[in-house]
Structure 1
Amino acid sequence: MFRYPSLVNVAILLGSLLLSTLCTWFLVRYQGRWGVDAPDQNRKLHEKPISRLGGLGIFVTLSAGFLIMELRFPDFLERWAPVVISNCIMFAIGFADDLRPLGARLKLVGQLGTATILYSLGVSIDELSNPFGEGHFPLGWWSLPVTLLWFIAVPNIVNLIDGMDGLATGFGLFLCITLAFVGHYSGKPEVVTVSMIMGGALAGFLIFNFPPARIFLGDGGAYLLGFFIASVTVFTSSKGSVIASLLVVIVALGVPILDTLFAIIRRALMGVPLFRADAEHIHHRLILLGFSKARALIAIYAVCLVLGVVGMSIFWSRGLSLPIAGAALVLLALGSARYLGYVKSWRDVRAQLNMALARRKDMLYAQSYGRVLEWEAERCKDAEEFLSLFCLGIDRLELKRTNEEGFEAITLPLVTGLMWKIHVPKTSQSRDRWIAVAENLIPALNHATERWGALPGLSFTSPPTVPSATVASSR
């Protein structure tokens, strides 16, 4: 095992920051038509199309850092090959989705395959050590599902919170600091150095990702960041006994884990797919409460920093602070649920639950109706026959084709390049729910417009203009 002088780590950090800054600057300045995220006025409220290929600069910086490590220590890539290979594959999956959406199922299959490859290369959670003392708990056949769950969960948790400028990037920077701390106190200088490389890459990218963002992390960057944390944590743990490292990272992951838990409960009660995006995340709620983007980001950063310190205390106290860390997470969950408005009143939880279940039935009805209309788009002989059925569906779902009092317009993209304009009830607390209802009609409308083009009687607009591969004057 080799050790680095602290000045070398500082130089590596600064070098990574500089390279990442240059790569990201190039991506921002020469933004092309590929991988551009256009605003939709529903959940994507940025003013103009922005590139979501920011993960490429982080990947280039991380790859360069690995090559430098190999030049200094010729056996580095040989020993770290499983981590390097799997992280490259995971980035490729996310980056491909940034260029052209792959769909949630295909991405999940790719993540599962990548995690399986890493497991087959010997990187696994085989046993859990007792954080309070001596002894180990062998996992046996549970090793495979536990390892795969860890490798898949962390990238998706990081990706889930990547809905606000600078949030996932800054959070990843805190995680890298935590990981470097774990490596230092565990006597693993390699972990410190690779964490410095990723930390520098994220810091350089954050310059352009801080509100207002000029480039987005994208799935490629989010998957790479999450999988890097997950894989390095397990790979550098002694004999697969990783409970201490896992606990530190899990506590540091407190905010995104909490956000993910709220999202799962919220979407389950609404009856929508778990991977469906919405505008009800913690950062969205803070903005609704009157926080500016910068203030909301700083508030979340502060909580992440505190949780990171709490997680590190598990190492300092050799597990004695674990009950305190658990209590902190529980209090954070209860307080956040009430303050952010997920729970209106603890006394009326049962009534709120009954109302949510009633709305779930409405959502399931909308999904079923949308599926029927999708079949009708195939069975109908002409556009007029389908249009009559489709308009009936709009009425049945309590939507409007034209603007009326108490309704507001939303636009939803179609695969044909058109933007469908529909009007939903104007109620701020359930706007996202009504968008989800309208989205159930999109598959049928996609198929119909592919067969007959823009249907008369429905309102369509042109998609937002995407800038060509030229220098944007405002950047």
Structure 2
Amino acid sequence: MSNFVGPPKPLLFDWPTVVAFYAGSFAVAWAGTMAVIRHQGKLGMDTPDGRRKLHARPVSRLGGLPIYLTLMLGFVAAFWFLDVRFEGWLPLILCNFLMFSVGLADDFKSLGARVKLTGQIGAALILYSSGLSIDVLSNPFGEGGLEIGWWSLPLTLLWLVAIPNIINLIDGMDGLAGGFGLFLSLTLAFVGFVSGFNDIMIMSIVMAGALSGFLYFNFPPAKIFLGDGGAYLIGFFVASVSLKSSNKGSIVAALLVIVIALGVPILDTAFAILRRAIRGVPIFRADAEHIHHRLILLGYSKGRALVAMYSVCAVLSLVGISILLTKGVALPVAGAVLFLLAVGAARYLGYVRSWSNLREQMNLAMERRHRLEHARAHARVLDFDIELCCHLEEFSALLVQRLKWMDFNTSRAEGVSPVSMQFSDGSICHLYRPEHLHEEGEWQRRADELETVLERCIERWGSLPPALEFSRPEHGTLEASPEDPAKKQVHDSRLN
């Protein structure tokens, strides 16, 4: 197996055909996305929560549907009308469908991290069993390669599962994940062109056209969201197609191009994993501290933040392509660029406030983690209390005591600020925390530990405890438990 690809092979179709497929994919995705927006119903809607989801009204999360349909129509059209061999593409198409289906099902109703991960691994295993795998890591600087043996399975699964989740993780701002997918698709198309892989080139062009048509409606303010289905589809398409190109040529060449082009999402994912590990929260728990959130806190508008991240992605895509064109000579330069980007971003975005005081920052982070573990311990006890209590009022009294230990108040007072939680029945509970003590984000993470407990309370007794203030969207008032009319009170629902 050669280390890097040789000179380009002649294309089996002309450039007007390539442009026609891009334009056709754009038009089909544009029309499909418009149809989804016009006929959106109650299913698959993303409702704002006032915390991370700050859009003004519910927005459809089914943006992946027109992208997938466009991709399939493009494959059929290329298969019938172009002189291109699509050998080995059926398992790839099937597994892309399975990965998209897992995300789409989650867009309709939350499946949970374990169920989604199981589905992702299942799709990756099917593709691996079809023969698409990482078996040899070639030497980028010379001849020869490393046979990885039984490591082939875990490395292939890691590649096929990690990239969809990385794309999904950055899908927190209008136009971000779709734009990154567009850059990655164009990068793959260039890899296919330079390597002479006509099937990879044309399908990457189709995906680029589909994403362009979708992005017309996804730029801020978005009329439709990508959803888990769309994010998983983009990520798995990039992972599987890059793996297919590597099986035709050099493992290192094709995969390194994608790794470098994915520099920003990988960096964002690394920051998120480290941040959540230090704080002691689940890795898959969403927060509002991704790179795009930090840029907005620094004063960037959504548009400027999007342009900034697009620019970095475009530069990194070119750096990745340079590895391919220089036959690995540019690899040290690419590594240096990624290292400097990581160090500079950590400081500029505020993840590291000062390199000289890094130890003090770590100590402060560990103190916050201990406080969060303290809140989590109280939440676990309350979870048992739900089973032991005979009625809602009994549990409500225990809840008030636990909340005092967690430094929460259940009613307004001087010097307190609200912390809100939204539940599956539409109600929004309001706790109050001291204004001068700790950061707002820390209080929100403590409150999040109570969400599961209070959801179980709603399941058992049909309402939140009467000691809590909560509002319902249909009438916008703060009230006590409806099970005890004597205790029901109506207040102004506006928060301080």
TM-score where L is the length of structure 2: 0.90
Q: Does 1:457 pair with 2:467? A: yes
Determine the structure 2 residue equivalent to 1:131. 140
The 1:429/1:99 distance shift into structure 2, 3 A limit, reads farther
Shift of 1:433: 2.5
**Matched-pair contact (CA < 8 Å) for 1:182–1:245:** yes
Q: Deviations over 1:337-376 (max 9, x none)?
A: 1100111111100000011011111112222221221111
Aligned counterpart in structure 2 of residue 295 of structure 1, from 304, 311, 317: 304
> In the alignment, which of 161, 174, 180 is matched to residue 170 of structure 2?
161
Q: How does 1:50-449 map to 2 (within 5 A)?
A: 50-72=59-81, 79-238=88-247, 241-426=250-435, 430-449=439-458
Q: Is the 8 A contact 1:82 1:118 kept in 2?
A: yes
Alpha-carbon deviation of 1:432?
Answer: 2.6
Task: Say if 1:3 and 1:165 are closer, same or farther in 2 by CA, change over 3 A.
Answer: same
Q: 1:75 to 1:309 in 2, by over 3 A?
A: closer
Q: Secondary structure at the match of 1:40?
A: coil
Q: CA deviation at 1:79?
A: 2.6
Q: Which amino acid aligns with 2:325?
A: W
1:37 aligned residue: 46
Change (3 A) 1:115 1:238: closer
- Tell me by how many angstroms 1:464 deviates: 7.4
**In the alignment, what sits opposite 1:471?**
none
| Contact 1:54–1:218 under 8 Å retained in 2 | yes
In structure 1, the partner of 2:483 is none
Q: Cα gap change, 1:331/1:55 in structure 2, threshold over 3 Å: closer, same or farther?
A: same
Structure-2 separation of matches of 1:80 and 1:94: 21
Q: What amino acid maps onto 1:278 in structure 2?
A: D
SS in structure 2 at match of 1:347: coil
Q: Give 2:179's aligned amino acid.
A: G
Consecutive aligned runs of 4 or more in structure 1 exceeding 6 Å deviation: none
TM-score by length of 1: 0.94
Aligned to 2:478: none
1:472 aligns to what? none
CA contact (8 A) 2:132 2:247 kept: no
Structure 1 unaligned regions, length at least 5: 466-475
Distance 2:12 2:182 in 1: 23
SS at match of 2:338: helix
Identify unmatched segments of 5+ residues in structure 2: 1-8, 476-496
- Give the residue type in structure 2 aligned to 1:383: L
1:408 is aligned with what amino acid? S
Which amino acid is the alignment partner of residue 46 of structure 2?
D
C-alpha separation in 1, matches of 2:23 and 2:327: 32
Give the CA RMSD over aligned residues: 1.8
Q: Note the C-alpha offset of 1:406.
A: 4.1
Mean Cα displacement is larger for which, 389-398 or 288-297?
Answer: 389-398
Q: Distance in 2 between matches of 1:427 and 1:24?
A: 47
Name the CA distance, whole Å, in 1 between partners of 2:474 and 2:256. 45
8 A contact 1:125–1:240 mirrored in 2: no
In 1, Cα distance between equivalents of 2:437 and 2:162:
31
User: Residue 205 of structure 2 aligns to a residue in which SS?
Assistant: helix
SS in 2 for 1:128: strand
1:418-449 CA deviation, whole Å, 9 max, x = no partner?
22222345579832332121011111111112
CA contact (8 A) 1:126 1:241 kept: no
Which residue identity does 1:46 align to in structure 2?
A: H
1:66, 1:120 → 2: CA distance? 22
How many residue pairs end up in the alignment?
A: 465
**What residue identity is the alignment partner of 1:446?**
E
Change (3 A) 1:60 1:452: same
Select the structure of larger CA radius of gyration: 2
The one of 21, 28, 32 aligned to 1:12: 21
Amino acid at match of 2:103: G
**Seq. identity, %:** 52
